Every structure is written in C-alpha cells, then in structure tokens.
Structure 1
Amino acid sequence: FCRVMRALLGAARRAASAAACSAANIASKPTGKRLFGATAVVGAAAFSSVYAFDSAARPDFSLSGAKVMTWGQGGSGQLGFGESTINWLAPRGAEGVDQEDIVHIAAGWKHTAVLTKEGEVWTFGCGQYGRLGHGDQADQLTPRLVFGLDGVKVTSIACGGYHTAAVSDKGELYVWGRGWDGELGSGTTKSADEPQLVSGLKGKKVVQVSCGDSFTLALTDSGELYSFGTGYEGQLGHGSKTNELAPKKVEGFGGEKVTKIATGKEHCLAVTESGSLFSWGADDYGQLGVGKRARYMREPTEVRKLKVRSCKADSLSQLAYIKRQAKKHDNSKKASQYFNTCIHAHRNA
C-alpha cells in the first residue's frame, strides 16, 4: 500500500493540537523492517512543515508551493517516480506535479490521486479495473491528468482499494474503477475506466466523499449520509450485509446532521453536529472503539460520550480529535483497552 505524505515548502500554520511532525523530529536510517514504535522519517530534513492525510481526510485550507513526497511499495508506479520501483525506503519527490499547487492527495491499493488548486485531478500507479480514469487499464508511472473531468472543477478526492472518487464544486460526485460490488453507485456491477457521474445523488449537493476497500460514502450539505458498495461487514450502515449498487441513505444518528466522515478498509466513522462520534462495520481489532470487540456492527453505534470535531480512519484503526469531554471515563485497562487504540484525545482542563 502506497504511503503518501505532502511536504509543504512554504510556511504553513497549523493548530498546535494537530501538529504531528516538524523538521527537528526527522532523522533515522532507511529500513525495510516493520517498526512498532514512533520513528522519525528519514530524508525529509528539508521539510519546513508536513501535512499528512489519507483518502478519508480533506484539508480545510489551501496551501501553495507544495511538493508531493512518496515512499513505500512502488511496483505499479504508484510512487510517481517514472519507474516501477519495488520498494523505496525514504521520501522522494514524485515527478510531473512538483510545481503544481497541490491541495489534496489520496492513496488506494497501488494507485495515487492528486488534486491541484485549479481543481484538476492527476492519477498514477496501477491502472487495473480503470481506477486511474484514463480510459484504459494501463499502469501510469508518473502523474497524468484525468481528462474525463475536463470542465469540472474538483474540490475533493478519495481512493478506495480499486476505485477513485471526486467531488465537484457543484456538489456532483464522480467515480471510476472497479465496480464489482456496486462501489461506483451506478446501479450495476460494471467497472468504469473513466469518471462517471453518480446519478443516484442527483439533486443532492455532495460536500465530502470517503472510500473504503470496496464501498463509498457520500456526505451532502444537508447532513445526510449515503453509502453504496459491499456491505458484508456492515460497513454500509444499513443493518444488513447486503451490497448496495446505488446510493442509499444511512440512518441511525438520532436525527442529527452528519458533519464529517471517514472510512477504513471495512469500517466507517461519522461525526454529527453535536460532536458525537459514531462507528460501524468490521471490528476485528476493536477499531470501532465501542469498548468491546465484536465481529462487526452493521448500524452506526455511538462511541461513548465524546465531543469530536473531526475524525480519520485507516485500514484497522482510527483517530478522532476531541473537542470537549464532559466528564472523565474509567481509566482502567479493562474499560479502555479498545477505546485507547482508536481515539487520540486532547482533553480540555
């Protein structure tokens, strides 16, 4: 899986509670071994600041002068170096988009998408199932513009395992790639090698999209959440394991509007207007954060009584920023062992 970060070459201010990296913390030797503790990244000493995110996150400000840095597995060209590098152990600049104003990056299974300030989408890596959106299934070793979005100004992108999604400034949702489980929302299980509009959301204004392995979530400006694709682990949130080939509204938030969403491989997170955090889907490793491990949860379930402002998820775990917590929870290991693996909290005094 391609790990992508962006190095901001210009000065960029970030809230102290969200700061995670700085140039002073970056120093280590390249290694292909697994690391189980916090380890600084080598080869990035020139970073003036770093902003990291995945397909589930979207920056809330525009940043210019950015350079895309990639590393990890690159056998299909997903690192954007212009070659099929099996593994690259340290950050290196991707070719072709270095001088663009990059505002968003997303990574899927062996493919990468980049969004520019002008609203253009560039993709590279594995082209199987048409996930790059270039009208074919060829691998792309360097970033290439997705011409199927010509005339469309994209504001947000996301990558699933084998598909890609983009939201336009008009609130339209475009998807492409593998569609075997309905993750393209077209009403069929056909794949698409070029961007296609999700007609099932006509009349809705999509403001955020997030993709899991083989499913998609779409959040509208009215706070409604829609899901489609594979539902085997309950990741669609409809109370069943049935696949949905077209967008279907997710219920179960107590009548509240949803404000933020995030997806892992087979699980989901949603934050409501009151700051409540909900999770559903696979829970093999306790990634739902509900205090006990379950095989799965097929409907949105509130994660304790937290006040959350944003959330993020990866394949197995998830991260939430706490805005306010009314009272302290039991700090015993038994009560918090799964909770602590999922939540990163900044508690108010």
Structure 2
Amino acid sequence: MSESDTKVPPTPAEPAQTNGAHSEQQWGRIIITGGTDWANLGKRDRAGASLVDQDTYPDLYEPHVLRPLCTVKIASIYAAPCASHFVAIDIKGGAWLWGRNTSSALGVDGDTTDAIQCDAPRRVTASSLGAPKGTRFVHAAVGRYHTLLVGSNGRVWGAGLNNNGQCGLPSSTPELKTFTLIESGPKNGGDRERVVQAAAGISFSLVLTDTGRVYAFGSAEHGQLGNGTTGEHIGNNRKVMFDIVDEPTLVEGLEGKEVTQIAAGNQHSIVVTKDGLVYTWGSGGYCRTGLGKQDDALTAQLVTAPFTGEHEEQRAWKVFAGPTNCIVVDRQRVTWIAGKWKTSGDGSAGQSYTTFKRMPELEACKVSTAASGGVTHFAVTPDTEAEDDKEVNMTVAWGQNAQNGELGLGNEGPLSSTRPTRVEPLKGVHVFALAAGQHSSVFLATPGSELSSLPRHPHVEAPGECVVCSQDKGEDDSPLECEKCETPYHLGCLNPPLSAVPEDEWFCDKCIAEAAAAVPDEPAEPEAVAEAEAEVKPKPKPVSPAPETNGAAVENGATTNGDAPTNGLKRKVPEDADEAPAEEGNAKKLKADSE
C-alpha cells in the first residue's frame, strides 16, 4: 500500500458536543466483516493449521450486509475485543444475539449449542425473561464468555460464565445457562439504583446508574473492580487466589463525580465524567490505563493530562477500551490513544504509549466514534470527499496481525494496516456505530443505495426468473430483486404493480411480513411498568448516558411504530443466475500483511 493510500483527508471543524439523548431514535442496518466460524475462530490443530471451516463458514474479507437482520431496524450494537459473540438491540427493545456460545454466553445451553450462526440470530425480549410488559432492552455488554442485558426498568440480566461472579450472581453457580436477573443491586443506602449502561471484560463487569455512579463485580485480580484491593491470598493447594465479588460494588475514587460513559478492556476500565474528566483503573500492563506506569490501579485514577485543562473543548467526550489500550475522543473530536495497540514499532509492546498521545494520521479528522477489537481499531469521521456534497461518514481502520478480514479492507486489500486507512468497500456508506470483536467487526449504517450495493451474508440460492410469470422479458424489463431473499419480480407482476424502480432499498411482501412477525409490537401495561419502576428510586439529578460503550451503542430514544422497511433499490438478476455463485467474501486467498 502506498503512502497516499494511508492518508486520511481532513474534515471541517464542527462545534463541540456533549453526551446526551437524541430527540429521535437513530437506527440502521448491520454490516459484518471478518470471521464467521464462531466455534473455531482462533483455534488450531496440533500441526498449527486453522480449524476454521472456510467452505461452510467463510471469512469475510469485505463488509457484508447481515442478511437475516437486513429488514430489522437496529438501534445499537455491542462487542468486546476479547469475545467472538455480538449483541444488537432493535428499535422495539429486543436483543439479537449470535456468535460463540462458550459457557452459554448467549443464554442457551453451551453443552448442546457451541455457537449461534449468522443465518439465525437469536432474539430475546425482556418480557420473555420475566420483566413486566413494556420493558425494553436499552443497553448490553459483552465479556469473553458472558453477556449482560440492561432493561428500560433499570434492571440487568446476565448469562454465561460466572465462575468469578462476573454475571453479578453468586459464583457458586459458575455458569448461567439462561439469562438471569441480578437481584443483588446495585444499591445505594439500601435503595436500588437504575442501571443505564453496562460494560464487561474477561472476568469482570461494570454497570453505570442514572445517578452517575459506577459499580463493578467479578474478579479483583488486577484491581479491575476499583474497590482498593485485589484480595490476594493463598488458597487450597497453596495456590494464589484473588477476591471474587459477585454483588455490584461501588468503584472507589469517583466520589462526587457524575460518570456519563463506561468502557471495559480485557482487565481494565475507563470512564468519562459529565465535566469531561477521564478516570482509569485495573491492569496497568503496557501502560494501557494511560497513567504513565505499568502498576495496576486498584481504584479509579484521574488521567491528569491532557484532559484536565481549563479549556472545556480540551476535555474528553467519549472513551473506548481495547485489549491493551484506551482511546479518548475529546470535545474537539481529536483522537488520543494510550497503551499497546500495535505488534511492532511505536505503540507496540516495547514502545507502548505510557500516556495518551494523539493519532497523527487522524489529526485533521473530527472523529464521532471509535472502537478497538482483538487486533483492530476503527474510527468514523465525516467524509469530505463524498460525491454530490453528501453528508456521509468515512470509516477508517488499522491494526496488525489481522487474519480473518476483520478490518474489512476488501478481497484485494491487505489483511492488516499499520496506519489508519479508509475502508474502501464502505465508501459512500454512512456508518455511525462500531462494534469490534476478537476476530470479526460489525458496523451500523444508514440505509441507502451504497449500502444496497454491498454483498450479503450468508449466501442464498434464488430463482433466476420472475417467480410470478417465469418469463424473461429482456433487459428493458429485468426483474427487481428483494434485498433480503433475492427473489426476483417484474415491476408489473407485483400486486399492486410498480411503475418505476424504487430509489432506495426494497423488500418483497413475504420478507416484510416475516420481519413484522419477528419483531412484533409489545404494548406496555402502564400499571405493571409503574410497579416495576417503583422499585428503582431515581435520584433528583439523573445523568443521560453517553451513546457509546466498548464496541458501540447508539442512543436509544423513543420506540417508533413498525419495523417493516420501506421500498427501495433495484438489484438486477445476473444472467447466469441459474449457476450458484461462489460464497460471497470467500474468493480471496489469505494474503500476507502488505506493510
């Protein structure tokens, strides 16, 4: 890749923003890139060969629209750099889950189901878990082998590995095979607090309440609970042990501060307060906490520079955590990074950033969101080179040793990039949220013609001729394809017929009906909801949560009616449609790092 290929064009200045709720709920379609053989990603046999089944579950080297959810309006997406499963929340508050199901992380028995594949994501509703009707999921967190779901009533459910109490339930139950309500809190002075956000690492979890307080539970081995101790002691067989805290416990060092956003790395945490201050704690390896030293921080520590200045615009806006790094976007949309975020050169193990430093290639970019995966990093910034002066975002990616296409640089692009570079296959696609996993990446994008031009995953077999008339009427009347099932219809064969090709995305009646059935309206029962929410006593000054967490979440506003998408773009049936095409995204052979 040439030097010019790695440069990111500058973006115009825009006024600083603070975290807060949007007046309307934003939604988009899910795009996925990277590995899809969830049960085998990262695994090798004794000879060192990958166990991934490329024929059945191919690596996707270019971004694909996730076909099963392309008719569902998704409000937020979640992942973790240490995990190979994902959560997406739709506008009606249902949670969709797919990926690796080790230790029942997806809320189904891991002994019988090792993964939930992309072709059939699982949808879970709060009411199906016993919550009052009208309760919606509004946030989620993904840990290595566990998952947390946050309800609109301020309650939290956990599933998966719980050997360290990381699901917020007694560690005497080391695995939760179904989503289970956390009964123990969090509580302040005996009053239950309302949870609005969650975050998770390998062996611990965090929750943020509407009062701006942060609570942690799980293993204290690296100080990631922020309670002032690791509890190191000698256990049975003279084995070194550490404290396990399975009830939400208040993080120390944040007294008097209103936290608006939380994020968790593998074994460390980072938060931002209402006044733009950054605090970190947990594992200090590679100086990932940005505190200038590799010592573990046992309580929340203020990052003194560069976010403590008198000028408000220099304060922090959003925070993100990777496996061994932290990212901060300040109120001027400048991107800062600390810790180890590369495998060689500046920013690697031997040259990690001990404190937060600017990303030189992103100096002129006004970043709106970011994410860090297993070895990947992403940022979204306005695209000043967009055609027709469209307001569209540009997706930027970088990372070394990516092997599964998780950067999404294309079938002919490199697998890795040492410097931030545009994700060319997403040019013109308005991505507004990111969720980076260990071997795969997910984006949330606004519908449009550019999005409709992307390939879809998984591949489906579709008829080659109009399913109504079974006739070939020539190029002037080529069939219109449904963007989900790819079934072709002539415009005149539709009921009612269409006089022209729709401008945006288009789905057939069958797929629209299936979407409506999959995401039904669930009317609220005011008395039941009021009774449930009466248990949670909000404080006088609630804090609006930030729209981003580790991975990515966009703000959940008021639910809109209906989930059936509007009509849209014409996708022409190929002339050789009778011949099954090769699996999308599997055409590329593994390439060496181009750097």
Shorter-chain TM-score category? 0.7 to 0.9
Tell whether 2:196 aligns with 1:196: no
Secondary structure of the residue that 1:149 maps to in structure 2?
Answer: coil
The residue aligned with 1:97 is 126
Tell whether 2:226 aligns with 1:185: yes
1:81 equivalent among 93, 99, 108: 108
Matches within 5 A, 1:277-288: 277-285=335-343
Alpha carbons of structure 1 residues 342 and 257: separation in structure 2 relative to 1, 3 Å:
farther
Instruction: Using the TM superposition, name which of 316-325 and 131-140 deviates more.
Output: 316-325
1:21 equivalent among 30, 36, 46: 30
- What is the aligned-residue identity percentage? 22
| Letter aligned with residue 171 of structure 1 | G
Q: Following the alignment from structure 1 to structure 2, what is the Cα–Cα distance between the partners of residues 128 and 166?
A: 19
Alpha carbons of structure 1 residues 292 and 243: separation in structure 2 relative to 1, 3 Å:
closer
Q: Following the alignment from structure 1 to structure 2, what is the Cα–Cα distance between the partners of residues 346 and 269?
A: 25
2:355 equivalent among 278, 299, 315: 299
* Residues 280-302 of structure 1 deviation map (CA, whole Å, 9 limit, x = unaligned): 1112247xxxx955332121010
The residue aligned with 2:329 is 271
Secondary structure of the residue that 1:237 maps to in structure 2?
Answer: coil
Q: For the pair shown, which has the larger CA radius of gyration, 1 or 2?
A: 2
Conserved 8 A contact 2:125-2:137: no
Q: Following the alignment from structure 1 to structure 2, what is the Cα–Cα distance between the partners of residues 41 and 147?
A: 35
Q: Following the alignment from structure 2 to structure 1, what is the Cα–Cα distance between the partners of residues 257 and 25?
A: 34
Give TM-score scaled by structure 1 length: 0.79
Secondary structure of the residue that 2:421 maps to in structure 1?
Answer: helix
Superposition deviation, residue 239 in structure 1: 1.4
The residue aligned with 2:159 is 124
Q: Following the alignment from structure 1 to structure 2, what is the Cα–Cα distance between the partners of residues 239 and 79?
A: 37
1:69 equivalent among 90, 96, 113: 96
Q: Following the alignment from structure 1 to structure 2, what is the Cα–Cα distance between the partners of residues 41 and 179?
A: 38
Superposition deviation, residue 167 in structure 1: 0.7
The residue aligned with 2:60 is 35
Superposition deviation, residue 201 in structure 1: 1.2
Superposition deviation, residue 317 in structure 1: 1.8
Tell whether 2:286 aligns with 1:245: no
The residue aligned with 1:53 is 78
| Letter aligned with residue 320 of structure 2 | A
Superposition deviation, residue 72 in structure 1: 1.8
Tell whether 2:279 aligns with 1:226: yes
Q: Following the alignment from structure 2 to structure 1, what is the Cα–Cα distance between the partners of residues 359 and 302?
A: 21
More strand by share: 1
Conserved 8 A contact 2:155-2:195: yes
The residue aligned with 1:309 is 368
Q: Following the alignment from structure 2 to structure 1, what is the Cα–Cα distance between the partners of residues 428 and 66?
A: 24
Alpha carbons of structure 1 residues 104 and 43: separation in structure 2 relative to 1, 3 Å:
same
Conserved 8 A contact 1:307-1:324: no
Q: Following the alignment from structure 1 to structure 2, what is the Cα–Cα distance between the partners of residues 337 and 346?
A: 23
The residue aligned with 1:322 is 381
Conserved 8 A contact 1:153-1:168: yes
Superposition deviation, residue 221 in structure 1: 1.0
Q: Following the alignment from structure 2 to structure 1, what is the Cα–Cα distance between the partners of residues 338 and 245?
A: 28
What RMSD, in angstroms, separates the aligned Cα atoms of the two structures?
3.3
Alpha carbons of structure 1 residues 30 and 260: separation in structure 2 relative to 1, 3 Å:
farther
Tell whether 2:142 aligns with 1:107: yes
The residue aligned with 2:217 is 176
Q: Following the alignment from structure 1 to structure 2, what is the Cα–Cα distance between the partners of residues 299 and 178?
A: 26
Secondary structure of the residue that 2:320 maps to in structure 1?
Answer: strand
Give TM-score scaled by structure 2 length: 0.48
Alpha carbons of structure 1 residues 55 and 105: separation in structure 2 relative to 1, 3 Å:
farther
